[in-house]
Structure 1
C-alpha cells in the first residue's frame, strides 16, 4: 500500500492498493459522474440532441478524457476505489489539431461546471498503454463554483497559483516542443465551442436532476500550504484560522470542509462517525447563485448564459496569454476562429465577433 496526498478527517488519506486501484476515503460521486466508463454527464450531453446548438466542434472531443473503473464502497459513494490509469509522458510535439481542439473542449467543460483545485497533480495527461492520448481532471471534488475567470480553476497561473503548479503546465511543455500558433487557435476554438454548444443543456437539463443535492462538494477555505506550514512549525494560535480549522489542525489533520448544492451552510465531519457537523461559516451570496442553477426559469437561464459568455471570452484570452510568446507577432486561424498577437495586444475573432486584451 502506497499512501498519497494529505491526511484529513482522522488521518485518512488516499492510497494505492496492490491491485492498481486507488482508494479515496471521501465522496467519489463527482469523479464517477464525469470519468467512469459509463459516463452519465457526457451521455446526457451527447444523446439529448434536441437541446444541442449546432456548431463545428469536433464530435469526438470527449474521447481524450480518462475512462476509469469505479467501485464505490456504498450506494452513497461515500468512499471507493478507482482503477489507476498509468500514462507515459509525451516527449514529442502533438501536431494533430483535433487533439488541441479536444483539449480546449475539455477545459471548457471543467470551467462551465465550475471545477476548481485543478493544479498539476489533479490533471492526467499522457499516453496510455495503447498509445492513446489522455487529457482530463482526475480529482473532482470542488465543483459548481461560480467562477468568472478560467484561472480560478487553477488550470492557469493566478495570484495564489504560480505557473509551475497550474494544471496546464505539462500541456504547455508539449506545445513548446513545436509552438505552432494554429494549435492554440484550435485549443481556444474547442474551448469557446463547448460553451456555445452545451450551455443550454447545462442550464435546462443537468440541474433538473435533484439527486445531485445529496452529495458533498468540497470547500477550500485557504491554501493547503498554510495548513502544512502550521503543522510543520507547530504554530496553532495563528489568528488566520477559525475554530473549526484549529480543531482539525490540533489532531494533525489538514482541515476539510464541504457544502451541499442547495445550502449556504459549510460542514465538516465528526471523525467518530463521519456525520456532517454544520459550522457557523456561511457562503456569502451563495444561496442566490445556487437558486439560479436550480430554478428552471428564463431569468435564471439568462443569468447563467451571461456568465458563460464572459467566461468563454476572457478564458480564451487567458489561454492565449499562457501559451503564446508576446514577443512573436502573428495571426493564426482554425475553422471560423482567428486570433492575432503583437507585443501589445491580443485580438480574437470568432464568427465575426471581436474582443481584445492587452498583455
Structure 2
C-alpha cells in the first residue's frame, strides 16, 4: 500500500494509494464454451428470510434476496490460508518488490494455483506485462461465466501482490515481508478463485487479478484498467482486497469498504449475506482511502462501482511498511472468516439477472 504524508497522524494511517484487441488463450476459449453448461452440484441454500439486514429498504428495493448456491465444503480453511500467506510473506521472497526475483517466485506460485484450479489465463498467458514499470507484470486469470448472456458481463476480483522489498533495519532484519500488506489480500483472491472454480456457480465471467507495482503508485491496476477499457470490456463492478490480516475492535461489522457512499455495494453485500458484513469507517473517508488502492483505476476508467474491502482501521496494526509485518502478526481465523463471509454475497453478485449494484 501507498501512504501519503499529509499530516503526522496519517503517517501510519493512510494505508492505500492502499492496449490492443483482447487476446484470450485457446484454453480460455475452450473453457468459455464448456462452461456454458452449468454443472450439477450439491448446494446449500442460505435462508435469509428470518435474518435482519442493515440495507436501507428504500435504497435496496430492487436487490435480489433469493438464496444463491454456495457449497460450504469448498470454503477456505485456516490451514490453507496459513500455508499460502506463510509462503508469500516468507524471507525467501524478499519483500516482493515489483521487478524483483522475489516477486517472480510469488507470481509462479499464484500461476500454479490458478492452473491447478482451472482458472485459465485471461490473455495469452497469465502474465500481463506492465507498460508503465519495467520487468513487472500483473497475474490475470479468468473464470468464464456459465450463462449464455451474463457471461458477457465481467466482475473483477483483485488485490496487489507486490510489496516494498526492503525496509528500515530492525534487529538485523531488513526484509519487509508484507504479510498484511498485501499477502493477506492476495490469499483472499486465490481462495475465492479456488472456491468458484470448484463450484462453477458464476453466471457472469470473473477476472481474478493480482496487481504488481501498487507500491509504485497503483501502476499495475492503472495499466490493466486502461488496457481493458481500450478493449471495451463490459465491466459490471470491481471488488478489491487490501490488508485483511487483523480484525477491528469495537465494530458491529467485519470489514469496511472504501468509497462507502459512492455506490450501494455495502448495502447489497449485507443484503446478499443476510447480515452486516460491511460497515462504514469514517476515517477511511477522511483520509481518502478510496483513491489509494487498486479499485480506483477501474472506477476512473469505467465509472462503475469499484471498492476495496479492508479491516485495517488505523488503530489495529502498527507495522505498515515495517519489517515486522510478518505472518506472526496475522490473525488467520479472522482472515479465513473474511474470505468465507464474502463468498455468499459474491455468489449472488455473480448471478443476479440485472445489475443491482449501482
Query: What band does the TM-score fall into relative to the shorter chain?
Result: under 0.3
Higher strand share: 1
TM-score, normalisation: structure 1: 0.25
Q: TM-score, normalised by structure 2?
A: 0.25
Max radius of gyration: which structure? Answer: 1
